[in-house]
Amino acid sequence: METSAHWGTYLVEVSSDGRDIVAAHTDDPDAAPAIGNVVDAHRHRSRVARPSVRRGWLENGPGPDDSRGTSEYVEVGWDTALDLLARELARVRSTFGNQAIFGGSYGWGSAGRLHHAQSQLHRFLNTIGGYTRSVNDYSRGASMVLLPHLIGAPATLDLRYKPTSWADIADHTDLLVSFGGVRRSNTWVVPGGHARHVGSGLARAAARTTRVVSLSARHDSFADLDAEWVPVMPATDTAVMLALIHVLVTDDLADDDFLATHTVGADEVRRYVLGAVDGVPKTPEWASRISRTPAEVIRSLAHRMAAGRTLVNVVYSLQRGERGEQAIFAGLTLAAFLGQIGLPGGGFAHGFGSMGDYGVGVAGARLPTFPQGVNPVPDYIPCARISDLLLRPGEEIPYNGGHLRLPSTRLAYWAGGNPFHHHQDLRRLRQALSTLDTFVVHETHWTPTARHADVVLPVASTLERDDVAVGAGDTRLRASPRAVTPFGEAREELWIYTQLASRLGADFADGLDSRQWLERLYEEWRAAPGSPPAPPFAEFWREGGVSLPQEPYRDTVFAAFRSDPAAHPLATPSGRLELFSSTLAGFGLPDVGGHAEWREPTQWWGSPLAEEFDLHLLCNQPSHRLHSQLDMGAASQSTKVAGREPLRLSPADAATRDLTDGDVALVRSAQGSLLAGVVVTDALLPGVAQMHTGAWFDPSAPEIADCVNGNVNVLTRDVGTSTLTQATSGAHVLVAVTRYDGPVPPVRAYEPPRLVRPDPPDG
């Protein structure tokens, strides 16, 4: 039976009684290893079997409680759980208003178009009067705020959904210069999944005609690209980009005609890189002292970039750090000085090596979408500021040139996501969650987030419900039928919200069950203008899917703008690329100016903090799971070292610390500590360490470390990238690494909490 996830479409084999998944495999030649997690996870001991209520909340009532995360749970019936939750939602709404409810769910829980956890939660909360929401995302939070100021909102969308394609790179690009590498494992992930992975195959084809240069602290481009590695210390890419611009200017390689006709602010940038503003010319020698990239390599690269068609790519991870938006600003400015923006295969890209659908070259059909309704509550936060929301009620934070007031939050409702993976500084997050009156979580497994909740409702997994799946630029809209019966007493979320809404006097599902909703979504999509020819739902379901058109996109904002900037201006104040933004300068922010610039972050190897924490830890996405999903599965567990998440070190750094492959290390930052298994590799710059995100948080031996399973977010800082964007800064952090020779505690992250059932009534 075929089913779909964000990491691909695959086949499952089911036991004869229809209860168990006995095998999972795929005929995709570039399949994601994460498929190997499915069998173990389906009926793992960490599955949530029944509605569960934290004993302290059940006995003492709602209120702040710093014992969240350590309590036992009482398993109750569905009616009891729903009655308790409905009563609490009614109390919070009537006493404090709907803005006191935070609708969480930074949702990667399901690739389905109906059972999309975030959409269903938001629709439910909207039906009962609204909620405080979050905006932007952890992947591109800084970019989403910055880029509309520089290129306008339509071009920002084009940069995500209509970028230079891999086909254009193969046909036109001489040099692809990628800041942050081009990771193969990231091409396995597409929101909604793809029928077959195509991104890495397209990249391999492009590599036959295009030279790839990867600038990163880690040799992080997959082998088929045969990329040239230019080492750059983390958080210093902006300095290298400014030095490249300096060479273009001083060696008369900049495209002055393009700058004069298509940009504003080029003169300000020239003055800055030449040192007229601060007395510091941004020469390759200057950048080399900051980045440790040899000056002659920077100078040579600038000449190579100017000699042919060049595409400048900046991966998502570079903007996930303090001052992170500066790398995007500088990358766009560098591309503008080369003068190739809007040309096939040239210009600026922001996503190659970050997402599997990036650059597939297909505009894509309109997709079925579960309607969320309208939220009447105006309050919102940038998604990475959840701890600020809970710890600083009533305060204001700067954001995008203005200020946001943080409402007082009494109840948080989370579904389809795990903030213990996405969010930073887990000590602070735990403190923030302790301030809530009530924390509600929908989950398939006892994740760290579920173990901090007051009410945990077991939900059916993707394999336990019917859905349809499709990703942007996909070849096929796919039926994803239920493969097995739900585990324990798990229910579909649509049923849960229907029952809750009914108790609160609201209508969530329009009287439809999930099968009827599937048919409605499909038929509305099929009938909508612009949708491709498609059969009626019954035939679609019987056939397992319908093919989608693969028309290459042609009408891009950048191409039209390049051909005639007066007739096709960008949606910026000047109508041009804003290399100096008067709007940004007018905000008067202490950490973001009108043009790209180098400002020393606190987390880089040259900072005073590095005297104690002398390694720069890169925290990037895992290869054998999606985020933290199914970390207990065989594929994810196959990557563990000494039973926990691996820490990668260069041979020099390992030798200095008397560490070898398989040892256990204690990793400390100013925020916390963890245990990790050691891997020694020559794919890292000395002074740099690397760990994947997503190991399940395990605080079971706090006398040894804050997490003994290697969750990097006990180390990372919960500070915004800047006062402009307020995005996550969790991609890297300064750490100290030492050999750990004490007793190694067992990993308890995948064990459920203590569960009890209420005593039966007397008589």
pLDDT at 759: 64
Residue 136, CA distances (Å) to 384, 395, 397 in order: 9, 21, 16
Q: How is residue 634 written in tokens?
A: 């065989």
Residue 463 predicted with pLDDT over 80: yes
Rounded mean pLDDT of 509-516?
Answer: 96
pLDDT at 760: 60
Q: What is the pLDDT of residues 632-654, one digit of tens each?
A: 999 999 999 999 999 999 999 99
Q: What angle do CA 577, 583, 585 make, to 5 degrees?
A: 105
The string of DSSP letters for 384-413 reads: GGHHHHHHSTT-EEEETTEEEE-----EEE
Per-residue three-class SS string for 357-379: CCCCCECCCCCCCCCCCCCCCCC
* CA dihedral sign, ordered 70, 75, 76, 78: positive
Residue 371 predicted with pLDDT over 80: yes
For a pLDDT cut of 70, what percent of the chain falls above it? 99
* pLDDT-based confidence at residue 29 (cuts at 50, 70, 90): confident
CATH 2.40.40.20 matches 608-739: yes
Residue 202, CA distances (Å) to 76, 157, 216, 590 in order: 51, 22, 22, 43
Rounded mean pLDDT of 565-577?
Answer: 98
Q: What's the distance, Cα to Cα, between the start and end of the chain in Å?
A: 49
Q: At 154, is the secondary structure helix, strand, or coil?
A: helix
Q: Are 372 and 497 within 8 A, CB to CB?
A: no
Which is catalytic among the residues 10, 57, 73, 108? 108
Residue 26 predicted with pLDDT over 90: no
Judge whether 108 counts as a catalytic residue: yes
CA nearest neighbour of 85 among 69, 65, 60, 62: 62
Residue 447 predicted with pLDDT over 50: yes
d(CA 467, CA 536): 16
Average pLDDT over the chain, rounded to whole?
94
pLDDT at 203: 77
Residue in the block written with tokens 């295009």: 210
Q: What angle do CA 374, 378, 383 make, to 5 degrees?
A: 95
Q: What is the pLDDT of residues 316-355, one digit of tens each?
A: 999 999 999 999 999 999 999 999 999 999 999 999 988 8
pTM: 0.96
d(CA 702, CA 734): 21
Rounded mean pLDDT of 730-739?
Answer: 97
Residue 366 predicted with pLDDT over 90: no
The shares of helix, strand and coil residues in the chain, as percent rounded to the nearest 5, are 35, 20, 50
Residue 596 predicted with pLDDT over 60: yes
Q: Pick 1 or 666 by higher pLDDT.
A: 666
Rounded mean pLDDT of 691-700?
Answer: 97
CB atoms within 10 A of CB 538: 9
* pLDDT-based confidence at residue 631 (cuts at 50, 70, 90): very high
d(CA 758, CA 367): 46
Q: What angle do CA 172, 177, 178 make, to 5 degrees?
A: 120
CATH fold of 147-363+562-587:
Dimethylsulfoxide Reductase; domain 2 (3.40.228)
Residue 763 predicted with pLDDT over 50: no
Judge whether 517 counts as a catalytic residue: no
Alpha helices in 504-590, H assignment, sequence order? 514-527, 537-543, 557-563, 582-587
DSSP 474: -
Residue 590, CA distances (Å) to 405, 414, 587, 754 in order: 20, 34, 9, 49
* pLDDT-based confidence at residue 226 (cuts at 50, 70, 90): confident
Count Cβ neighbours within 10 Å for each residue of 14-51 and write b for 16 or more, e otherwise.
beeeeebbeebebebebbbbbbbbbbbbbebebbbbbb
Which is catalytic among the residues 57, 73, 106, 272? 106
Q: What's the CATH code, domain 2-135+380-469+482-511? A: 3.40.50.740
Q: What is the pLDDT of residues 53-83, one digit of tens each?
A: 999 999 999 999 999 999 999 999 999 999 9
Helix (H) or strand (E) run with residue 441 in it: strand 438-443
d(CA 104, CA 109): 13
Q: Where are the domains of the chain?
A: 2-135+380-469+482-511, 147-363+562-587, 608-739
Q: What is the pLDDT of residues 530-570, one digit of tens each?
A: 899 999 999 999 999 999 998 898 889 999 999 999 999 99
What are the two backbone dihedrals, phi and then psi, of residue 478, each rounded to the nearest 5 degrees?
-115, 140
* pLDDT-based confidence at residue 276 (cuts at 50, 70, 90): very high
Residue 18 predicted with pLDDT over 90: no
d(CA 752, CA 450): 10
pLDDT at 35: 92
Strands 396-399, 402-405: parallel, antiparallel or unpaired by DSSP?
antiparallel
Q: What is the pLDDT of residues 155-202, one digit of tens each?
A: 999 999 999 999 999 999 999 999 999 888 888 888 888 887 777 777
Query: What beta strand segments (E) does 459-599 contain?
Result: 467-469, 476-480, 545-547, 577-578
pLDDT at 762: 47
Q: What is the pLDDT of residues 72-118, one digit of tens each?
A: 999 999 999 999 999 999 999 999 999 999 998 776 778 899 999 99
